[in-house]
Chain A
Amino acid sequence: MWRFLLRRAVLAVLVCGTVLVLSFSLTRVAGDPALAVAGPQASAADIQAIRVAYGLDRPLPTQFFDWVGKAARGDLGRSYLFREPVANLVRDRLPVTLTLGLVGLAFALVIALPLGIVAALNEGRPLDRVVTLVALLGQALPSFWLGLMLIILFGLRLQWLPIAGVEDWTGFILPGLVLSFSAIPALLRLTRSGMIDAMASDYIRTARAGGLSRASIVCKHAARNAAMPVVAIAAVQLGFMLGGSIVIETVFNLPGVGYLAWESVSKNDFPVVQAVVLLLALIYIGLTLGADMLNALLDPRLRA
C-alpha cells in the first residue's frame, strides 16, 4: 500500500518537473521575449534595456532556476501587460474558474449518472439507444458554438439568463452547462458499462434472491460498485474542464484564469502564459494523484 502511494507521489513530482521545463520553454520557442515586449518600433538600445530590466540577458538555465525558485515561493514574476505581479492577477481570477469548473462538473454528474444508470437498466432497448445517441451528439457539439447558440436562445430571445459576466450565480448557469457537455459522454458511457457489469454480478443475484427491492438493489448495491471508476474519471474530467475554461470564459466574457490566459497569449504576456500553463498542469496532477490514492484506499486490487 505505502509502496504504491510512494511510487505514485514520486511520479507526480517527476511530471511536475517536466511540466516546469515545458512551460518555461514554451515562452522561449518564439525567440527573444524582449522583442515582443518592446514592440516593432523599439530601438536596439530599448530592447537591450528591457532585456536587462526583466533579467532576460542572463543564460537560460539561470533564468529557469530563478523562475522555479521564485515560483516555489509564490512569486510568479510580473506581467508585461498589466504591470502587476502575476500571482495577484491569477489569485483574483482563480475563484471564477474554479467555480465554473465545479458547476460544470456538477451539471455533468447530474446529467450523466442518471442517464447512464437508466441506459444500463434498459440495455439494448430503445431507451438505451436514445441515451447512447445523446452521448454521441454531445461528443460532436463544438462547445464554443453551443455557447453562442445558448446565448442567442436564453439570453436574447427568452431573456432568462445573463449572456456575459458573473454579476451573480445565474451568470454561471449557461457557461457551466456548456462546459459540462465536454465531460458528459465519457462519464455517461463509463456509468453505463459499470452498471451493466455490476448488475450481471453474483452479489446482485444474491441480493435479488434475498428478495431485496429493485430500488434498493440498484441504488445501494450496484450503483455503489459502479461509482468507483467514475470517481477517477470525474477527477480527470474536472482537470480537462478547467483547461477548457479558456474557450468558455472567452465566449461568455467571464473574468477567470482562462480569459486571462487568452488575453496574455494574444498580447505576448509570457510570464502570465507560463504561470497559467503551470497552474492548470499542477491542478491536473494534483487531481489525478488524489483520485488514484482514493481508488487505492477503496480497492485493494489496485495497490499491487
Chain B
Amino acid sequence: MTRKVAAALGLLIVGFTLVVALFGPSVVRADPFAQDLMNRLKPPAFMGGTDAHWLGTDQLGRDYLARLVYGARISLLIGAAAALTSGVIGITLGLLGGFFGGRVDDAVMFAITCRLSIPLILVALAVVSAVGASLTIVVTTLGLLLWDRFAVVARTTTMQVRTLDYVAAAEAAGAGLFHVLFREVLPNIAPHLVVVATLEVALAILLEAVLSFLGLGVPAPLPSWGLMIAEGKDYMFFDPWVIMVPGLALFTLVLGINLVGDGLRDLFGVRRRV
C-alpha cells in the first residue's frame, strides 16, 4: 500500500515538473533574463514580498519564479538526453559482452573497470573546461561518462537470457545477430534497463547541478538550478531563501524520479542492485 502511494507521489512530482517545463514559461509571463537592478533580492510573496514577483527576485532583479520554471526545462532536458546517450553506449556494450562472453566480455568488463576508476566529477569538469561550457557539451560529457550501470545491468541480464530456449529457437530459425540481440534479447531485459534509466536521469540532473554550481556546467545567464544556487551563495547568509528555493526544486525532482524508479522496479519484479 505505502509503496503504491510512494510511486504515485513520484509520478505526480515528475508529471508536474514535466508540465511546468513544457507550459510554465508561457504561463509565467515574467522574462527569466530581464534584469531590474532597482528590485534586487526581493523576498517571495509568502515571506513579505509582493505579488508581482511571487518567488521574489535574484541578485540582478530577475524574476525567481520565471527562472525556476525555465530551469526545470534545462534539468529535464539534460537528464533525458544524457541518459539516452549513455543508455545507447552502455546497453550496446553490455549486450555484446553478455551475449558473446569470452574475450569480448573481457574487453567490456575492462572498459567498465576503467570507467569506474576515473574520478567522475573531476574528469567532467576538466572536459567541459577544455572544450568550453555549453548545454550540448554538458549533455555529451555526462552521456559519455554515465554508461557504466547500463553496461553492468545489460551484461548480467543478457547472460541470464542468452541460454533460454527462445534465443536458441531464433538462432535455429536462421535469425541474424542483429535480430537476436535487438529483437529477442533486448525486449526481454528491457524492464531492468528502464529502472536503470530512471536512476541515470536522476544522477545526470544532480551532476549537471554540481557542474553548474562549480561554474563549469550550463553557462550563465541560463537559469540552471545549480547555477542559481551558485549565484545565490554569496547572499545566503542574509537571504537563505535564495538557495533554498532552487535546492528544494532539485531535491524534489530527483526524489520524484527515484520514487518512479522504485515503483517500476516493483511493477516489473526487478531485484534491487546496489
Query: Footprint of B on A, CB under 8 Å?
Result: 11, 14-15, 18-19, 22-23, 26-27, 29-30, 129, 136-137, 139-145, 148-149, 152, 156, 186, 189-190, 193, 233, 240, 242-244, 246-247, 250, 258, 261-262, 265-266, 268, 273, 276-277, 280-281, 284-285, 288
Contact = CB atoms under 8 A, between A and B. Distances in A.
B121 interface: yes
Given A26-B126, A189-B272, A190-B274, A19 B262 contact: no
B121 A149 contact: no
Contact of B206 (A19, A142, A250): A142
Given A136-B258, A233-B274, A281-B119, A26 B233 contact: no
B138 to A, nearest CB: 15
Contacts of B262: 136
B146 interface: no
A29 B122 contact: no
Interface residues of B, number: 45
B236 A152 contact: yes
Main secondary structure, interface of B, reads helix
Contact of A14 (B110, B119, B210, B226): B110
B210 A142 contact: yes
A189 B243 contact: no
Contacts of A30: 129-131
Contacts of B274: 186, 189-190, 233
Contact of B119 (A141, A142, A190, A280): A280
Given A136-B262, A142-B206, A189-B274, A247 B214 contact: yes
A258 B125 CA distance: 12
Contact of A142 (B110, B209, B214, B258): B209
B114 A18 contact: yes
B255 interface: yes
Contact of A22 (B118, B120, B250): B118
Nearest to B247: A145
B22 interface: no
A142 B251 contact: yes
A149 B129 CA distance: 28
B209 A273 contact: no
B121 A247 contact: yes
Contact of A15 (B110, B121, B126, B255): B110
A284 B255 contact: no
B110 A11 contact: yes
Given A247-B210, A261-B122, 7 more contacts: A18-B114, A140-B202, A140-B254, A142-B250, A240-B120, A246-B125, A276-B119
Nearest to B205: A142
B101 interface: no
A39 B238 CA distance: 38
B117 to A, nearest CB: 5
7 contacts: A11-B113, A15-B110, A140-B254, A141-B251, A145-B229, A246-B121, A268-B129
B123 A26 contact: yes
A29 B119 contact: no
A144 B131 contact: no
Contacts of B15: none
B110 A149 contact: no
Interface in B200-226: 202, 206, 209-210, 213-216, 226
B259 interface: yes
Interface in B237-265: 237, 240, 243-244, 247, 250-252, 254-255, 258-259, 262
B127 interface: yes
A141 to B, nearest CB: 6
Contacts of B126: 26-27, 265, 273, 277
